[in-house]
Amino acid sequence: MTSNIRITQRVLVVGAGPVGLAVAASLCEQGISVDLIDKRPSASLHSRAFGLEPITLELLSAWHIADEMIRRGIVWAEAPVGDKKGRTLSFSTLALEFPYMVIIPQSYTESVLTEWANKVGVNLKRGMELKTLTPMGEKVVVKIEETQSHSVTKIEYDWVLGADGVNSIVRQVLDIPFVGQDYQHSLVVADVTLNTPPTPAVYARSVSRGLVALFPLPDGTYRISIEDNQRMDLPVKQPVTREEIANSMSAILGQDFGLGDILWSARYRSKQRLAERYREGKIFLLGDAAHTHVPAGGQGLQMGIGDAANLGWKLAGVIQGTLLPDILDSYENERRPIAKAALKNTDLLFKFNTAPGILGRMVHWIGVQATKIPYIEKKVVRMLAGEDAQYHCLRQKGDHKRVGQRLPHLVLCHAGQERKLTEVLRKKQFVLIHNHAPRLVSALQSYFQTVAQQLTVVEIISPKKLLRDGQATIVRPDGIVLWLGSDIAQAKTRLDSWVNR
């Protein structure tokens, strides 16, 4: 059934950081009109998050922008464990479409996202600050101040998405507790030049004094991340000096690799906090506004992009009337446990890498040695890649274990052509992947003819073993398995709880 829906609902996204840009562009690409505001007069030039994980690349690929990130960044397939020998863990052991990370400063990532947002028609206005918001029945009334003239406008929206960072005004006005702790330790990051850079270029060491990691940036400079136990009690306001960086490098790495200029630096104190709720009626929280943690393992940006990918298609479907309104509750049910686990894992990783004293170093040594065991190596690499995250709440009794998970790298046949799953997902439709299952295909095609949602049907080429003969799987537009099996009635029942009939 073709739909002829006039979409008049208005969406406001607060905050044009990476997460706000991503969710705004994703909604707009699906035909929703979006206003995106940011209080800053221009985009931030700070590099902050500098890596995109394999799973984040899959999400970006389904938005057509992974290739551009790869073009502007540096592909990196080996993560150093931080020992003296420079041993690494390889992403290439994972069966993923992108078995590597891309090193790309956050300012570049935001610039690619901004180009996408402009292309799809997001109404992006900088120098506009959200001052307050009030839910009023089915609407949300916001007050926005133009930061130069200080003139305030009152506007009514149908939906408001708070992607306004760690000090989120949206979260504060709604009085949503941001539960957790502030770390007492201060950490240092800097972008520097090195006259005699290390080989391999991604280099890390963890010793009793702390951890230093070096990452090459696309412009030839280096990102340095320092967790120095002897300096962690310095106040964040104390400027970072070149001498201090050289000293931490020499003490922890054994040399300073010809440290040259310090181009940007920050001393910061992390928080480990999680919003108690992600939703209040027609208002949602995403990204750092909903969760924040120490950057060990580089998770902050990945988590936020994951939030945007999860909420974007659901909200677009509900606004268009093709999905049931109740499915919006699944955003918090799915994403909050992922953030909770990331808070725990990053805290453990941070403590593990900086563990001082004989006992701390012994634990660290044992942990590093354990990664030589293939099972543990794979577990750690899957965590670093973001591949271990799954939505347990989607899985019902008797469901296949893949329900709630992403699929490995697949080769599919669509309209006689070989396709990757992320290419098929660009249509923003549910995808039915089958292995010689004509009865199932025809039944589900008939089902989708009676609803406004659409279905893309593809056949699996490899790995064939993913589906037995006669089996199929329904994949959501964000790449998550909704159902897998061969029982037509069960597949329809599962769709009935998502699709508006």
Ligand X SMILES: Cc1cc2nc3c(=O)[nH]c(=O)nc-3n(C[C@H](O)[C@H](O)[C@H](O)COP(=O)(O)OP(=O)(O)OC[C@H]3O[C@@H](n4cnc5c(N)ncnc54)[C@H](O)[C@@H]3O)c2cc1C
Residues at the site binding ligand X, with contacts judged by CB under 6 A: 14-20, 37-40, 48-50, 106, 129-130, 163-165, 169, 189, 266, 268, 287-288, 295, 298-302, 304
| Helix H or strand E segment including 350 | helix 329-354
N-terminal to C-terminal alpha carbon distance within the chain: 11
| Helix H or strand E segment including 204 | strand 203-207
Closest CB 458 distance from ligand X, rounded Å: 32
Q: What's the rounded Cα separation, in Å, for the pair 295 and 57?
A: 19
Closest CB 204 distance from ligand X, rounded Å: 13
Closest CB 22 distance from ligand X, rounded Å: 8
19's CB contacts (< 8 A; 6+ apart) are: 163, 286, 287, 288, 304, 305, 307, 308
> Which residue's CB is nearer to ligand X, number 268 or number 352?
268
Q: For the chain, how are helix, strand and coil distributed in percent, rounded to 5?
A: 35, 30, 35
> Which residue's CB is nearer to ligand X, number 140 or number 444?
140
Closest CB 18 distance from ligand X, rounded Å: 5
Closest CB 99 distance from ligand X, rounded Å: 19
Closest CB 101 distance from ligand X, rounded Å: 11
> Which residue's CB is nearer to ligand X, number 128 or number 328?
128
Q: Residue 104, Cβ neighbours under 10 Å: how many?
A: 24
> Which residue's CB is nearer to ligand X, number 39 or number 494?
39
Q: Quote the tokens at residue 400.
A: 């296949």
State how far the alpha carbon of 223 is from the alpha carbons of 20, 47, 256, in Å: 25, 9, 13
Closest CB 298 distance from ligand X, rounded Å: 3
Long-range contacts of 490-493 (CB under 8 A, 24+ apart): 491/440, 491/443, 491/444, 492/443, 492/444, 492/447
> Which residue's CB is nearer to ligand X, number 302 or number 320?
302
Q: Is residue 16 within 8 Å of 124, Cβ to Cβ? A: yes
Q: Is residue 92 within 8 Å of 99, Cβ to Cβ? A: yes
- Smallest Cα–Cα separation from 408: which of 324, 475, 348? 475
Q: What's the rounded Cα separation, in Å, for the pair 248 and 234?
A: 14
Q: Is residue 170 within 8 Å of 12, Cβ to Cβ? A: no
> Which residue's CB is nearer to ligand X, number 15 or number 216?
15
Closest CB 285 distance from ligand X, rounded Å: 9
Closest CB 158 distance from ligand X, rounded Å: 19
> Which residue's CB is nearer to ligand X, number 300 or number 485?
300
> Which residue's CB is nearer to ligand X, number 147 or number 500?
147
Q: Is residue 292 within 8 Å of 166, Cβ to Cβ? A: yes
> Which residue's CB is nearer to ligand X, number 129 or number 472?
129
